[in-house]
Structure 1
Amino acid sequence: MDFIAFDFETANHEKHSACSVALTFVKNNQITNEYYTLIKPETPFFWRNIQVHGIKEEDVALAPYFPEVWYHLKDYFTENQLIVAHNMNFDKSILAGCLDYYGMPAPHYKTLCTVQSSRKLLPASSNHRLNTVCDYLNIPFENHHHALADSNACAKILLHLEEQFGEQALKPFIKSI
């Protein structure tokens, strides 16, 4: 399988408040590359979000704003590219919110949500949170809510599901936007 797993962390509940993003690139069922950056959001940080991911306003003081980050990422979000996230609705909404906030066009790409696929294919898991699914599949996972750790975990979950159930079992979860 070839795909890109991605994950955002946010400063607050605003859809344009991305404060970090990571991509994990998979080619022929192997993780081949990673990308991670902090992002300086044009919105304040909420204490609750800081408690979740540990990113503070001073951490992003010199980070690029989203348009600069998107300049480096946009070519990966293409019509034929499969983009994967654990809770795709969240990450897709953050991407859309940032693009909208900066008046940038939305890309069209294929998606697969590992929450949805793990719910269907791993019904015995106690829940389908990222860390729980990793535990269930014996995937080592540290630093939960760090965007790069989360995108890597997501990629490993999909690779495990493909190995265990086959690519055909995953096709119903692929959507185009």
Structure 2
Amino acid sequence: MDFVSLDFETANFKRNSACSIALTVVRKNQVVDEFYSLINPQVPFNQRNIQIHGIRPEDVSNAPTFAELWPHISPLFAPNKLIAAHNATFDCSVLKNTLASYNIASPQFLVLDTLKTSRSYFRNFENHKLNTVCAQLKIQLQNHHNALDDSLACANILLYQLKKFGVNDISRFIKSIQ
């Protein structure tokens, strides 16, 4: 299966405040590429968010804005491309709202939420947070809330599920985002 896993970290509680992004590219069930960037969100940071991910305003002061990054990563979000995220509702909302804040049209793509697949497949887990699922499946997650580590962990969760349950069963979780 080919897909891209996505993870954002945000500067504050608003969904248009992306301060980092990571993409893990999977082709034929193999991780073939990774992308990570800090983002200058051009909005204030919230102390709680800083405590979660450790990214500070001074870390992003010279980083590109999302509008500057978008031309480089937008081909990964083309129609019929599959994007996976753990809690895709959050990450897709960050993408949509961040694009809207720059008056950039939001693309259509397919999405699979590994939070939802994990809830369905692993009902006996204590919870279905990314770090819990990784621990239960023995998937490495070194720096939780580092977008690149989280993106790779999400990709590995989906790869685990594909191997265990098959692409036909997983496909019932895929939906189109607009």
| TM-score computed with the length of structure 1 as normaliser | 0.99
* Deviation >3 Å, runs of 4+: none
Q: What is the rounded CA distance, in whole Å, between the counterparts of 1:28 and 1:125 in structure 2?
A: 29
Task: Find the counterpart in structure 2 of residue 73 from structure 1.
Answer: 73
> Which AA in structure 2 matches 1:40?
N
- Deviation (angstroms), 1:67: 0.3
Helix, strand or coil at the partner of 2:5: strand
Helix, strand or coil at the partner of 1:70: helix
> Which AA in structure 2 matches 1:117?
T
Q: What is the rounded CA distance, in whole Å, between the counterparts of 2:15 and 2:118 in structure 1?
A: 25
What runs of 5+ residues in structure 2 fail to find an aligned partner? Answer: none
> Which AA in structure 1 matches 2:81?
Q
Task: Find the counterpart in structure 1 of residue 136 from structure 2.
Answer: 136
Task: Find the counterpart in structure 2 of residue 156 from structure 1.
Answer: 156
Helix, strand or coil at the partner of 1:120: helix
Helix, strand or coil at the partner of 1:83: strand
> Which AA in structure 2 matches 1:74?
S
> Which AA in structure 2 matches 1:75?
P
- Deviation (angstroms), 1:58: 0.3
- Deviation (angstroms), 1:74: 0.7
Task: Find the counterpart in structure 1 of residue 109 from structure 2.
Answer: 109
What runs of 5+ residues in structure 1 fail to find an aligned partner? Answer: none
Q: What is the rounded CA distance, in whole Å, between the counterparts of 2:11 and 2:128 in structure 1?
A: 24
CA-based RMSD of the aligned residues comes to 0.6
Percent pairwise identity: 50
Task: Find the counterpart in structure 2 of residue 85 from structure 1.
Answer: 85
Q: What is the rounded CA distance, in whole Å, between the counterparts of 1:144 and 1:14 in structure 2?
A: 20
